[in-house]
A and B are shown apart, each in its own frame.
Chain A
Amino acid sequence: MSPYELLAASMATQDTLQPAPRLILQSRLSEIALLWPWVEALAAEYAMPSDTLFAVHLCLEEAVSNIIRHGYGEQPGHRITVDFSQENASSLFFAIEDQAPPFDPLGHPAVPAMPAAESIDRLEPGGHGIRLLRRFAGSLGYQRLANGNRLIIRFPIYR
């Protein structure tokens, strides 16, 4: 094999290892486990710092979990698409789309700052998803689609 063929072969191999820019998930909670290997592959490909990887994984898990549990009411047979692109050297872009009833997590009233739990009754096991999304996303955007919702999450990369 000539050096050019070797180079072409190695590039082809690298291409096949690149994570796909789109992840399609079904509306089952077990599908959320597919986020990690995809995000981990993106992190390797785009040299994300570990804190960015943490924030991306957290926000995507919270957003997709919200859609499956609340948007689709845990009913199977629907899907969620997560698209990734690197906008520039310092910004990562994710768009999460569903075909669920309208839901704007940014306009949702259930996002006041968490009051300090004063008793065990106030120690809430759930309801933290949107709060975490707001805390760990660089910026959030919402678009109502003709037949669904699109949540846009950007993350700055600090190197």
Chain B
Amino acid sequence: MSTPSATLSQTDAHAVREITLAQAVREALAEEMRRDPTVFIIGEDVAEAGTPFKVLSGLVEEFGPTRIIDSPISEPGITGLGVGAAMTGMRPVIDIMFGDFIGLIMDQLANQAAKVHYMSGGKLNVPMVVRTTLGATRRSAAQHSQSLHAWVSHIPGLQVVLPSTPYDAKGLYKTAIRDNNPVIVFEDKMMYQLKGSVPEGEYTIPFGVAGIKRQGTDITIVATSSMVQVALTAAENLEQIGISAEVVDPRTMFPLDKATLIESAKKTSRAIVVDEGYERYGVTAELAAVIAEGAFYYLDAPVKRMGAMDVPVPFSPVLEDQTVPTPAALTELAKTLCGRA
């Protein structure tokens, strides 16, 4: 998986290691906590337990329970605490164990965090990060499997980050923590063990800069988070039949790198947008509209969308697997779009 060097804001000649996405998240948080004493993490089972996915394991041993804070099971409360702490000199990281739980915290996000800066005429800031998850196929059923990033992407004042590789996760997290606005980071819980190259040195990845995950000339596949791996697998399938697919990962839903999406679609003249959120009124609709509006006269086919099926995520594996876009389905759609079906 390639990452364009242009997106490296800073780097050095240190060794590049293969680490997991979970390790990359943990490294970013630990480095920022060492760098800035105002950064702290609060959430359910974040300390000794290190979260159910063990992403934060070891942090409480280094930073202690005053900076890695186990909270009651009170998502609105801890998010509200985060808003107030952020307004008064701290940089909280709020851990929301499952993305499905953002239903509980939407007032704190949409009515409080997102609006404080604007409503105060620019005087107050909310430098807060919410880390949470997305993604199905973990057999966790309807309330622990959704990808709800579209909900917060809709709200002016929020920034939404979807890392798809260990490298991106680390660089984006460091930017998120240093940013003076509320940021929600969605981690795909099926990708925590995904390994990738991450340099040891300091680097950040700016928001609003898409990553070209694979270069191609015949069709653009815009993919987010969990769907980047799906798109890369599909691209390999397509290559075997002579179709060159470009895989573009916007990396941040907002700010959105519209230019890169449009330029890629202009170059290839075909585009598919794939995302694990529900297809209906989802992220795919917004990204497809951006491409349709920006590249219309260059397109040889309508922009196509693939999202999660518009059903609550079912438990039974045979049912759940029907709901998420797969490499095979994406490959077929791309072939159709290229007149090769």
Instruction: Tell whether A and B belong to one assembly.
Output: no
Interface set of A (CB-CB < 8 Å, partner B): none
